[in-house]
Amino acid sequence: MARSNILSTMSYFEPILDHAVVDARNGIDDAATLYRRLGFSLTARGYHTLGSVNHLAVFQTNFMELLGWEGDGESPRPELARYPTGLNGLVFRADDVDTLTAAFTNAGLPARPPDSFSRPVRLPNGAQTDARFRTVRFEGGTFGSTRLYFCEHFTPELVWRPDWQHHDNGALDIARVIIQAAQPHRLGTLFATMFGEAATSLEGDCCVVRANGVRIEIMPRAEIARAFRDAAPDLGNRDEAMAGLTIRTSSLATTAAALSAGSIPTMQIGNERILVPASAALNVMLEFAL
């Protein structure tokens, strides 16, 4: 990204993808059932002190979170109410959210005061303890229809546990995040503001952010339709909205077998990737690749 496009200079932070969030709203039960059919091993239901509930698919260095709430009423977290079912959360890792918040504010980014929360975790041996976090978020709409924030883990050992990292579909890590945007350079400018020009670049009509081995690709709707055809999600009129994930797998044969066992429709393109259409995965396009 050209420096003239950067909103302000700041001390840049290394981009490390922490997790991606699939919002299930009040359909968390059905979402968990579906993602187990997709071959993911999910943690037991977690109950945040903020009022939301979740299940995690924990990978080697990052994870995917199914997030929602129980019951038929309104969301106990108002900031989730505006987001539809699907892939809406992009979360980076933070070492110190207080430092981040100050730096973002100084750079002209509308960071909100940090939130602290926790959720009980029951371990396989029956012991129970609390996983604790702090997050820094931004005012709604800063990243369009993507809910982007940073998470500081105080108890990472309660997330990345070996007994939760085996998946029948062979999933190893999130390798790519795909975001749809009418003007990819606008989001690219924001990413360059946070992470510096070395982590961001323009590739044709797309903007690419490199986050510790994960590619975040921001591309126009037409490019997503060309690359993924009928597998692409229905994002309606939303702009700067997350479209899909590429999951690195240990074996495409393992992936195919798990998806077949779950009666999941797929689109295989060549011998290098398997696509699960968004219509079969809670409006999340899932690509499995080596």
pLDDT over 60 (residue 212): yes
Last residue of a domain, one of 111, 141, 164: 164
9: in domain: no
Lowest-pLDDT choice from 93-102, 119-128, 152-161, 169-178: 119-128
283: Cβ–Cβ under 8 A, 6 or more apart, which residues?
Answer: 84, 85, 86, 87, 233, 234
Largest CA distance in the chain: 55
Q: How confident is the model at residue 6 (pLDDT cuts 50, 70, 90)?
A: very low
For residues 183-192, give the mean pLDDT: 93
pLDDT tens-digit map of 7-55 = 344 556 789 999 999 999 999 999 999 999 999 999 999 999 999 999 9
Please name every residue paired with 117 in a beta bridge, in sequence order, or none if there are none: 133
Please name every residue paired with 87 in a beta bridge, in sequence order, or none if there are none: 22
Lowest-pLDDT choice from 58-67, 88-97, 269-278: 269-278
CB atoms within 10 A of CB 185: 18
Residues 117, 71 share a domain: yes
Q: How many domains does the chain have?
A: 2
Please name every residue paired with 69 in a beta bridge, in sequence order, or none if there are none: none
Q: Which strand (E) or helix (H) includes residue 286?
A: strand 285-289
Which residue range(s) make up the domain with 41?
A: 17-164
Residues 231, 209 share a domain: yes
Per-residue pLDDT at 11: 57
pLDDT over 60 (residue 142): yes
| 148: amino acid identity, one letter | L
| 118: amino acid identity, one letter | S
